[in-house]
Structure formats: structure tokens, C-alpha cells
Chain A
Amino acid sequence: MAMTMTQKILAAHAGKTEVHAGELIMAKLDLVLGNDITTPVAIGEFPKFGRETVFHKDKIALVPDHFTPNKDIKAATQCKCMREFARAHEIKNYFEVGHDCGVEHALLPEKGLVTAGDLVIGADSHTCTYGALGAFSTGIGSTDMASGMAMGQTWFKVPSAIKVVLKGAPKKYVGGKDVILHLIGKIGVDGARYESLEFTGDGVAALSMDDRFTIANMAIEAGAKNGIFPVDDKCREYLKAHGAKEPVVYAADEDAEYRKTIEIDLASLKPTVAFPHLPENTHTIDEIDEIKIDQVVIGSCTNGRISDLAIAAEVMKGKKVPESVRCIVIPATQKIWLEAMEKGYLKIFAEAGCVVSTPTCGPCLGGYMGILAKGEKAVTTTNRNFVGRMGHVESEIYLASPAVAAESAIQGRIAAPSDK
């Protein structure tokens, strides 16, 4: 039977020669991830599985990134709980704040912890990011995480799939964020509910790995179980450069069944912004009237990578953020922070009037480091613009690319840089 790329990875991890959409399987896990919010709940559930030790000390990654550096006593207590669990179980991939740590979905690929063909679960919905590396990876809850840590396996319903054929190459200042916002705008926040988004086509080659991470990262915002890219030379080079295990390459069968096929001409895309309060409320930049803003956030697991900061720095170089705007820049990992410093980006941001933070998820989920007051509007490179996501229920979030966020910070209103 013909299978999608996702189905092949699931079949291999379930010890089956084939699986079909809708089938329920038990599959073995290559990596189990948790953060400082979801892991404490999983630690509470862990003893209920009747195992005294974790299934594999090297196949668990624990990343304190959401409320870190600890925002309050309760957050500190959660991090302490996770740290002590990591020590007690000798978990190799525990990353301490400041010690090569960072936002989990930027960190794990950077540390070479995921390779093509892997099956990864993470107690964080944006775990789907690693589909950029040709892995099956999906977000799950804390009980699943506990199951994964204890047993090294959990259950899956094999998904059907939507094929997304990317064609051509995007224009300057159009990137991965615009591609995924365009797609979500087209199919809706439940357009791929319980399905895989399998990206393919000649346009894939025109996208950087960072663009692909951004696209796979937001597959969940269309309701998808996972988003996945084919393994090409760019992907292999990335895996090699980051010391990942030898990739196991799966490709969709030519006659694999897709529920539908969507074509996207990358060259025709324009900078795209998702209006409050759903990622599907998209508008291209030319359709947007003047919207004045109070805050800009450039960072997160979606757009806090070095190429994101490079674009923002290019846009902001020599310019000033008006006093009416607070611009917060958050390199996603310690390594990205250092590289941004070495390349002079942090200086450009600071001189423009931005505040540069240590790596944290903080503002993206309304945790801390940039909470919005009633009536305030923000342009952010994060992934969700739900009611109250970044603060007050009457604040507004506009999701955009780093290029749009940087230009908006400079102009004090939603704007895209000119590509001339």
C-alpha cells in the first residue's frame, strides 16, 4: 500500500510494514521533550506508570524555557522540580539557563538531537518544528510525556495528509512566516486538523532551513498533527553541521493518498499579517490600513533564529524605534545570542532603541517580559494571537515575519520594508 512520508516513519516505529490513515498504533520513540510548564505535570504522572527509571537517559530532553530565567517563586519551584528529576534520573539532555540553553524548538535542532526519520514527541504543541528535518514530531500532553519517559512508546492515530506543493522562490523580505500564514489563511485554524501537512515541490529548495523550521513550527496553527519536509542536500548539510545522527530518509510514495493538494507559488506571496484573534485572519501588507502599535516582539520558537535576527538587523540598521513603541528582541538560544552579538546585530538593535533579552518563551504566551495592557497592540513574530495570549483580554496581537516586525517597530505602525 502506498504511504505518505509521515505514515512510513510511523510504520517503521510501530514495527509494521504498512499503516493506513485512521489506524491506531503503538510506536517507539526516539526522543521525548518537555519544558518547565509541562514537565512538572509529567513528573507527577510518571510514578503511575510503575517504572522506577526512565526508558533511556539519552532520549529525553528537558528544557527550562517558558518562565525562565525564573519569573516568580512558583516558576522557580517548577524549574527546581524538573532539575531534580533530571539529576535523579541522570538525564543527559537537561539544559540549564545560560549553559547552552534556549527556546526548546530552536535548541534541539541546534544541538543535533533530532535527525531525519526520527519519531519525536514533546509536551509542547510546537514540537512539530522538527518536521523541517524530515522527522515525524508532534506535540502531546504531560501524561503522554510521562508515558514516553517511562515506556519509550505511546499511542498514535495514523494521520491522513494534505500535500502542499511549493513552487518557485519567494521575493526579498518574504520568508517562511509568510508562507505558513498564507497557508493557514487559506485552510483555516482547523484546516488540517488531525492531519499531516507534507510539503514538497521545487520551491522547497528555495527555502532556508530556518524558513522550513518556521513553516513546520506553525503546522499546529492549522490544526495539523505534524508538518514535514523532504530531506534534501540543505537538510543533510544542516544535520551534519549540527552533529545529528545519520539520517534515515523516508520519502512519500508517488501514489500516496492525499486528502487534498494545495499549490503555493512562492514568488506571488506578499508579506502577510495575521490579525487578532486567530492565525487564520490573514491580510497581505498592501491590504492593511494604518494600524498604530505599542509593542514589537522579535523572537520565539517560530522566528528567533539567526537568519530572523539578521533580517531584523538589516531592516533596523541605523534607524530608531520611536518612543511610542517598545521593541523586544529575544535570540532563541544562547548560541544564537552569541552569534548575533559577534555579527553586530545586538548593537544595531540596542542602538535602534530595542531591548535585547536572554532566551525565553516569556512574552509569546503572556508569561512575562512584555505583557500587554488593555487596548495595546503588538506586532510579533510569535505564533498565536488568541484572546489574552500576551496579556490583557482586550489587547491585540498581529503575527508577522521578522522583516515586517522590524519595519513596524521603526514606523510605529504595521509596515513591511521596501524590497527596492
Chain B
Amino acid sequence: MLAKGKTWKYGDNVDTDVIIPARYLNTPDAKELAKHCMEDIDTSFASKVQEGEIMIAGKNFGCGSSREHAPLAIKTCGIACVIAASFARIFYRNALNIALPILECPEAAEAIKAGDEVEVDFDTGKIIDKTSGATFEAEPFPPFMQDLIKAGGLASYMKGL
């Protein structure tokens, strides 16, 4: 599985309240949620993000509330993959459960700049910054989590048990 696209870059401790502010949680409609994604720290993101682009962030990405609306909004915006130095645990499992590809790689998270063209291979964990020429290796997922992603999320996986 491959992703290739321009990056959007954010800092440490990006919380779910800024990924999708609670004032918009009066609907479960993913398309509505996507319109307000990242709005409290980046008013331009939701209107400018293109299908297949990649989000880069620092440590503890997705901390705070358990709202699955957060990875759902990011996925529905068209983001193909989130690369962070680390993820908060509820966001991490929510992303896997809804099959939003995520990779933990502190080196890539630090080195890749906003707007760089990046290529990601989920099977190998290899990340290439086409703009700078740098390559990075993310820790591959354990087999269970790879199965979860390949199944397309938790529902399909559990149904197949």
C-alpha cells in the first residue's frame, strides 16, 4: 500500500479539540466534520487540503477526547496517512479501527518540512521525502494490527473472526 503527496505539518500535543472542535460534534456526518478539521489551529487546512496528501506532526498527536470524529474528519478530508513522532493511545486505536493509515517515526516527523513531497510504503514502513531526498524507516505494525488495516477496520476484521 502506497501513499504519495504534499505534506501539512503541525507541532506537539495536537489534541482532538483542535482536530475537530466539540462545537461541531452535534452531527456524526463525516463530510460535515471534515469541513472544520484542524480549524482552531489552521483555518486554511480544510479548504485547501487535497486528496492523498499527508499530515506530519510531533509527539502525542490526537491527545484528549476519545472522539472518533477526529480521525474520521482527517480521513474524510482526504489525508492518506498521518506520520507523527508519537500518537495518543485512543487516537491510535481509533485510527486503526477506521483504517486511517498512521505511522510513528520521530525522525521523519522532525525532518520533513511542510509542503514537502513525501512517499510512504505501509508494507515496509519506508518513508521517502522526495523534496529533500531523505529516507526514514518507521516501526512496522505488529501482525494483528496489519490484519486490522488490511481488513479495512475493526468491523470487517471482527466479522471475519
A binds B: yes
- A40 and B59 CA atoms in complex are apart in Å by 30
On whether the beta carbons of B67 and A37 are closer than 8 Å, the reply is yes
On whether the beta carbons of B144 and A41 are closer than 8 Å, the reply is no
On whether the beta carbons of B18 and A388 are closer than 8 Å, the reply is yes
On whether the beta carbons of A48 and B28 are closer than 8 Å, the reply is no
The interface-forming segment of A186-194, A230-238, A403-411 is A186-194
Nearest B residue to A280 via CB reads: B13
| Shortest distance from the beta carbon of B46 to any chain A beta carbon, whole Å | 15
On whether the beta carbons of B22 and A366 are closer than 8 Å, the reply is yes
On whether the beta carbons of B63 and A151 are closer than 8 Å, the reply is no
Confirm or deny: B128 has a beta carbon within 8 angstroms of a beta carbon on chain A.
no
Known: A366-B23, A367-B23. A144 touches B67 (CB 8 A): no
On whether the beta carbons of A72 and B155 are closer than 8 Å, the reply is no
- A24 and B141 CA atoms in complex are apart in Å by 12
Confirm or deny: B41 has a beta carbon within 8 angstroms of a beta carbon on chain A.
yes
Which residues of chain B are within 8 angstroms of A37 by Cβ–Cβ distance? 22, 25-26, 67, 69
On whether the beta carbons of A225 and B17 are closer than 8 Å, the reply is no
Which residues of chain A are within 8 angstroms of B154 by Cβ–Cβ distance? 143-144, 147, 154-155
Confirm or deny: B97 has a beta carbon within 8 angstroms of a beta carbon on chain A.
yes
Mask, B15-31, CB within 8 Å of A = 1, is 10110011101111000
Confirm or deny: B50 has a beta carbon within 8 angstroms of a beta carbon on chain A.
no
Which residues of chain A are within 8 angstroms of B93 by Cβ–Cβ distance? 140-141, 144
Mask, A121-162, CB within 8 Å of B = 1, is 011110100000000000111111011001100110000000
The total of chain A residues at the interface (CB under 8 A) is 52
Confirm or deny: B98 has a beta carbon within 8 angstroms of a beta carbon on chain A.
yes
On whether the beta carbons of B22 and A141 are closer than 8 Å, the reply is no
Mask, B105-116, CB within 8 Å of A = 1, is 000000000000
Which residues of chain A are within 8 angstroms of B26 by Cβ–Cβ distance? 37, 67, 71-72, 74-75, 78
Confirm or deny: A387 has a beta carbon within 8 angstroms of a beta carbon on chain B.
yes
- A259 and B158 CA atoms in complex are apart in Å by 32
Nearest A residue to B17 via CB reads: A386
- A147 and B96 CA atoms in complex are apart in Å by 14
- A125 and B26 CA atoms in complex are apart in Å by 18
Q: Looking at chain B, what size class is its interface with the partner chain?
A: 35 or more
- A190 and B12 CA atoms in complex are apart in Å by 10
On whether the beta carbons of B69 and A41 are closer than 8 Å, the reply is yes
Which residues of chain A are within 8 angstroms of B49 by Cβ–Cβ distance? none
On whether the beta carbons of B88 and A193 are closer than 8 Å, the reply is yes
On whether the beta carbons of B97 and A388 are closer than 8 Å, the reply is no
Which residues of chain A are within 8 angstroms of B48 by Cβ–Cβ distance? none
Which residues of chain B are within 8 angstroms of A288 by Cβ–Cβ distance? none
Confirm or deny: A15 has a beta carbon within 8 angstroms of a beta carbon on chain B.
no
Mask, A47-63, CB within 8 Å of B = 1, is 01110000000000000
Confirm or deny: A185 has a beta carbon within 8 angstroms of a beta carbon on chain B.
no
Q: A24-B145, A48-B156 are in contact. List 16 more A-B contacts (CB 8 A).
A: A24-B144, A37-B22, A37-B26, A37-B67, A41-B72, A72-B26, A143-B94, A144-B94, A150-B158, A154-B154, A223-B60, A223-B88, A223-B89, A384-B64, A389-B22, A393-B40
Which A residues form the contact surface with B (CB < 8 A)? Answer: 24, 37-38, 40-41, 44-45, 48-50, 66-67, 71-72, 74-75, 77-78, 122-125, 127, 139-144, 146-147, 150-151, 154-155, 189-190, 193-194, 220, 223, 225, 278, 365-367, 384, 386-389, 393
Which B residues form the contact surface with A (CB < 8 A)? Answer: 13, 15, 17-18, 21-23, 25-28, 40-41, 59-60, 63-69, 71-72, 86, 88-90, 93-94, 97-98, 142, 144-145, 153-156, 158-159
